[in-house]
Amino acid sequence: MIRLYLTREEERVYDGERGWARQMCMRIIAKLGDLFGADKLIPVESAHVSGVSYKTIGDNASDFLKSLADAGGKIKVGATLNPQGSDSEYLEKHLPKQLVEKQSNILKQFERMGFALSLTCTPYYLKKPSKCAHLAWAESSAIVYANSILGAWTNREGGPSALASAIVGKTPDYGVHRAENRIPKVLVNVNAKLENESAFGALGIYLGKLLKAKIPLIQGLGKPSETDLKQLSAALAASGMVNMFHRDQDNLPTKMKDAEKVTVEAKDIHRTAEELSTASTKKPDLVFIGCPHCSLNEIRRIAHFMKGKKVKTGLEFWVCTSPYVKEKARNYVKQIGHSGGHVLAGVCTIVSWTEKLGIKTIMTNSAKTAFYAPTMNKAETILAPTSDCLKMALQG
């Protein structure tokens, strides 16, 4: 028995009158709503589903996807997918065949349910959500970015609840779907110059651990670029459960004068960056940019820097982005390819099988990758801004 109010039509779905797939999905979100004290469901503008890589979901979840597709499960709202662990142009040729097959079977099930293979953790480059739109997004980096930078409203969904919302078109009305839960609780003053996107990432990792799930108002960010804010969002969500932040230009809520206060000094950011660089060598096997997935501008900058230069022999250089942005960046992609780098579409390095490619040390501009790679990829890490990563990747 659920306490949440359901409309007559929602009840029919819940009772199975609209088929098993929709019933299962309705039961997932109704249960979630009950657990978090929601009193009703609300429609969502879009859903973003994580749990696409075979590395993270394995056989049981793959079977569940197949059951939903077999039972006629179909998406009801605009829905995007997180990256996978392989790609058809490059990694597929080097990874074990069995993993590639398992991965492609997962994509097949999503396609049967009507998903386009967007395969990205930056779905907002494909289509920006409307301001104040309610979303059901999984992928923590995109959630923080959507709530904090794009002004959309989404809880931090898991893969199953985002999938259920994609099929039902609704989400429970709780958490940051409600204005009263979006008020900052901690006032953070950054007393340090953040010189590049990796420093923004290190700040995010530091604050994520400190804040856990408390929403901050962050002052002292200066004039961050889109990339800086994307790195901050991803890192905050990697080390903590924060699902949004406010920043300088927002009006200071009057209630904040009694809020908890935190000051971040330069030494905190340096120490965090140092801790994120675990490598015992200065020579990486892989230099990787694209966590979260690169924008067209980032790829353009990388291509310009690489023009006329060559990637060092024996070194892998990857730029990860969505299939959509890769297509838009065709000419830059060619340029990076001529230099010996690879622009991988729809791939997440963290949920790929880099260890099977002999990659032991990863250099990256992403604090989120540096945070996860030691456990997820059994790799040592070097965290450095894009300019240093490119210098390391190129000869001469």
Nearer to ligand F3S, 196 or 366 (CB): 366
The count of residues interacting with ligand F3S (CB under 6 A) is 12
Does residue 83 interact with ligand F3S by CB under 6 A? yes
- The interface mask with ligand F3S, positions 230-249, x = CB under 6 A, is ----x---------------
**Dist. CA 21–CA 170, nearest whole Å:** 15
Token pair belonging to 204 = 């995010």
**Single residue of 49, 194, 207, 348 touching ligand F3S by CB under 6 A:** 348
**Single residue of 368, 382, 389, 390 touching ligand F3S by CB under 6 A:** 368
Give the amino acid at 331.
N
Nearer to ligand F3S, 121 or 236 (CB): 121
Please spell the DSSP secondary structure of 187-200, one letter per residue.
EEEEES---SHHHH
Does residue 204 interact with ligand F3S by CB under 6 A? no
| Nearest approach, Cβ of residue 348 and ligand F3S (Å) | 3
**Dist. CA 167–CA 24, nearest whole Å:** 10
> What is the three-class DSSP state of 379?
coil
Does residue 367 interact with ligand F3S by CB under 6 A? no
**Dist. CA 32–CA 79, nearest whole Å:** 20
| Nearest approach, Cβ of residue 372 and ligand F3S (Å) | 6
Give the list of residues 6+ apart from residue 387 with CB closer than 8 angstroms, or none.
196, 305
Q: In 3D, which of 292, 281, 382, 396 has the Cα closest to residue 340? A: 396
Nearer to ligand F3S, 55 or 301 (CB): 55
Span near ligand F3S by CB under 6 A; candidates 23-31, 216-224, 288-296, 388-396: 288-296
Cα–Cα distances (Å) from 27 to 70, 172, 245, in that order, read 18, 11, 31
Identify the residue whose tokens are 């931090």.
156
**Single residue of 23, 46, 82, 165 touching ligand F3S by CB under 6 A:** 82
| Nearest approach, Cβ of residue 186 and ligand F3S (Å) | 24
Helix axes 367-376, 226-239, angle to 10 degrees: 40
Give the list of residues 6+ apart from residue 201 with CB closer than 8 angstroms, or none.
231, 232, 234, 235, 276, 365, 366, 367, 368, 370, 383
Nearer to ligand F3S, 24 or 320 (CB): 320
Q: 87-91 long-range contacts, Cβ below 8 Å, gap at least 24?
A: 87/344, 87/345, 87/346, 87/347, 89/342, 89/344, 89/345, 90/342, 90/344, 91/344, 91/347, 91/352, 91/357
Nearer to ligand F3S, 350 or 379 (CB): 350
Does residue 381 interact with ligand F3S by CB under 6 A? no
Q: Is the peptide bond before 216 cis (omega within 30 degrees of 0)?
A: no
- Binders in 141-160 for ligand F3S, by CB under 6 A: 141
Classify residue 62 by burial, with Cβ atoms within 10 Å: 0-12, 13-18, 19+.
middle
| Nearest approach, Cβ of residue 91 and ligand F3S (Å) | 14
Length of the chain, please?
396
| Nearest approach, Cβ of residue 127 and ligand F3S (Å) | 17
| Nearest approach, Cβ of residue 228 and ligand F3S (Å) | 15
Does residue 292 interact with ligand F3S by CB under 6 A? yes
Nearer to ligand F3S, 46 or 364 (CB): 364
H or E element, residue 47: strand 46-49
Does residue 350 interact with ligand F3S by CB under 6 A? yes
Nearer to ligand F3S, 83 or 172 (CB): 83
Return phi, psi of residue 296, to 5°.
-60, -40
| Nearest approach, Cβ of residue 28 and ligand F3S (Å) | 22
Does residue 121 interact with ligand F3S by CB under 6 A? yes
Span near ligand F3S by CB under 6 A; candidates 144-152, 154-162, 195-203, 289-297: 289-297
Nearer to ligand F3S, 141 or 339 (CB): 141
Does residue 53 interact with ligand F3S by CB under 6 A? no
- The residues that touch ligand F3S, with contacts defined as CB under 6 A, are 82-83, 121, 141, 234, 291-293, 320, 348, 350, 368
